[in-house]
Amino acid sequence: MPTIVQKFGGTSVADPARIRRCAQRVVDARQAGNRVVVVVSAMGHTTDELIALAAKVSPNPSPREMDMLMATGEQVSVALMAMALHALGCDAVSMTGGQAGIETDGAHRKARIGAIDRGAIERVLGSGAVPVICGFQGIGPDGSITTLGRGGSDTTAVAVAAALDVAADGGTCEIFTDVDGVYTADPRLVPGARKLRRISHEEMLELASMGAAVMHPRAVLFGEKFGVPIHVRHSQRDVEGTVIVPEELIMEDIVVVGCALKPDLGRISLKGLPRADGIQAQIFEPIAEANLSVDDIVQTEFGDATTIAFTVEHGDIAEVKAICQSLVSRLGRGEIDVEVGLAKVSAVGTGMKSHSGVASRMFRALAGAGVRIHNITTSEIKISCIVDRPDGERGLQAVHEAFGLSEGPAGPGALRAEPVAPKPEAHPA
C-alpha cells in the first residue's frame, strides 16, 4: 500500500471551510488505497501574529520562549484537522513534532532535523488512523520544543516522507499550497509564465535558492538526498500540479526551465582586511554557526589588504553585520560597508550542462532591458546576476522572454510546461 505524506500550508488551512476541504482530500487519498500522513502549518498569518504579540510583551524575548509560543500555531491546526477528519468518519491522531519523533539539533528558531524516529508514526498508521503532525517544529536534545525557521513545514513533510521511505512503495510527498504548481517564473511578476509538469530536484533547488517561493530549499534538498518524489498542488482545486523528480527521470533537453527573482538583498563589504591565510574562515564560520546564509562572494586583493564582499537577505543584514564588526575589532583593522537595494535575477536549467551561449543570451536580454549588472555568479545549471532592486522585475521579464518560456505549445520547454490555467491566487511565501 503506497504511503502519501500530504502537507497543507497556512493559506490552505486559513479558515474552517478550507480545513474541511483539505480533510476531504485526505479522505479521498485514503479511499484510493493509500496510507496517508498529514503535516499541517499554522492557520493563515498565525505565526506572524504570535511574533507581534511577543514583541508587545518583551523587546527581546528569549529564542526558547519564542519557540514555545510559535509552536502553538501548528498545534491549533493539527487539532482542528483531526476534528475535521473525525467528522468525515476518518480516524485521526494529532501529534506535535516531538510526539512524531522529530529530533532536532536544538538551535532555537533555526533548528535542523537530525533524525526522525518513525515508530510513533507507524504505530498510528498501524492502528488504522491518520497521523496529523505539526509542521515547523521538533524537539531538541534537552527536550525543549524547537522550530525550524523559514520553510519549516515543507521541510517537516519531506523529512517525514524520507523517514517513511515513501518512494519504496510508489508513494509521494504532496505539498498543497495556494498555487497550481511550479511556474517558469512568478506569475504575479511575469503574466506569461507557464506551469511546469515536471522539474528535477536539482533545478527546483536552484530556483528555490534563487527566490522562487514555491518551496523552501531545505525541503527540496531532503527530497534530492533521499529520492523523495514531491508533487506541488493546489489545495482548493483538483488539478494536477508539478512533480519534482530525480534528474535522470527528466529526459527532455531543455536549456532553461525557469527564472527567479530574489528581490531584497544587501551587500556587505569588508575592506582593508589583512591578506592572511584563513581570513575567509574567520568571516564565514561564525556566520554559518548562526545558521545564516550568504552567497555571491567576491574577493579582491591589493598590496597587503584584502576586500571580501558578499550578499545576504535584507532580514539578515543586522545579525551578519554584528558578526563582522566583532571580527574587525579582533583583527584591529578593516572597515565594513553595507549596501542595500539590490536584487538577483537567475536562470536555471540542467540543459546548461550541454549548451553554450546561455550566459551571453541572458546578458543581452538584460542589456536590452536597460538593466545594469553588478555581479555575476554561475553554477553548472544556474546563472545569476545582481542588479538594482528597481530593475529586478524588468530584468526577470526580459530573461524569461529571452529563453522563450512564455511561448505556446510548440515553443521551447513545451515538453515540460503547459499554458497557464486560471491565474493563481498568489505565489506562496
Q: Which three cell numbers stand for residue 249?
A: 527521470
The angle subtended at Cα 270 by Cα 265 and Cα 274, nearest 5°, is 155
DSSP state of 10: T
Pairing of strands 382-388, 335-348: antiparallel
CB atoms within 10 A of CB 272: 15
Q: What angle do CA 413, 191, 239 make, to 5 degrees?
A: 65
Q: Residue 425's pLDDT is what?
A: 39
State the greatest distance between any 2 C-alpha atoms of the chain, in Å, as a whole number: 75
What ranges in 315-391 are assigned the alpha helix state H?
317-331, 358-368
Check residue 38 and give its pLDDT: 98
Tell me the three state secondary structure of residue 6: strand
Q: Which helix (H) or strand (E) holds 133?
A: strand 130-134
- The pLDDT of residue 255: 84
Crossing angle between the packed helical segments 358-368 and 392-402, to the nearest 10 degrees: 130
pLDDT at 412: 44
Comparing CA positions, the residue from 97, 315, 108, 111 lying closest to residue 218 is 111
Distance CA 333, CA 342 (A): 27
Nearest to 99 by CA among 71, 121, 122, 67: 121
What CATH superfamily is the domain 3-178? Answer: Acetylglutamate kinase-like (3.40.1160.10)
First to last CA, the chain: 33
C-alpha to C-alpha distance for 201 and 387, rounded to whole angstroms? 27
Cα–Cα distance measured from residue 330 to residue 313, given in angstroms and rounded to the nearest whole number: 25
| d(C-alpha 397, C-alpha 370), whole Å | 12
Burial class of residue 407 (count of CB atoms within 10 Å of its CB; 0-12, 13-18, 19+): middle
What are the Cα distances from residue 16, in Å, to 22, 24, 90, 378, 429?
10, 12, 17, 45, 21
Residue 132 CA to residue 148 CA, distance in Å, equals: 18
Cα-trace Rg, the chain:
22
H or E segment at 282? helix 279-289
Predicted confidence at residue 236, as pLDDT, reads 82
Q: Looking at beta carbons, which pairs linking 113-121 to residues 24 or more positions away fall under 8 Å?
A: 113/138, 113/148, 113/155, 113/156, 113/159, 116/159, 116/160, 116/162, 116/163, 118/163, 118/164, 120/95, 121/37, 121/95, 121/160, 121/163, 121/164
Reported as type and span, the H/E element at residue 374 is: strand 373-379
| Domain ranges for the chain | 3-178
Residuewise pLDDT in 10s, the chain (429 residues): 899 999 999 999 999 999 999 999 999 999 999 999 999 999 999 999 999 999 999 999 999 999 999 999 999 999 999 999 999 999 999 999 999 999 999 999 989 999 999 999 999 999 999 999 999 999 999 999 999 987 799 999 999 999 999 999 999 999 998 888 999 999 889 988 999 988 999 999 999 888 877 888 889 999 999 999 999 999 888 888 999 988 766 655 678 999 999 999 999 999 999 998 899 999 999 999 887 889 889 999 988 899 999 999 998 999 999 999 999 999 999 999 999 999 999 999 988 887 888 999 999 999 999 999 999 999 889 999 999 999 999 999 999 999 999 865 434 444 455 544 444 433 332
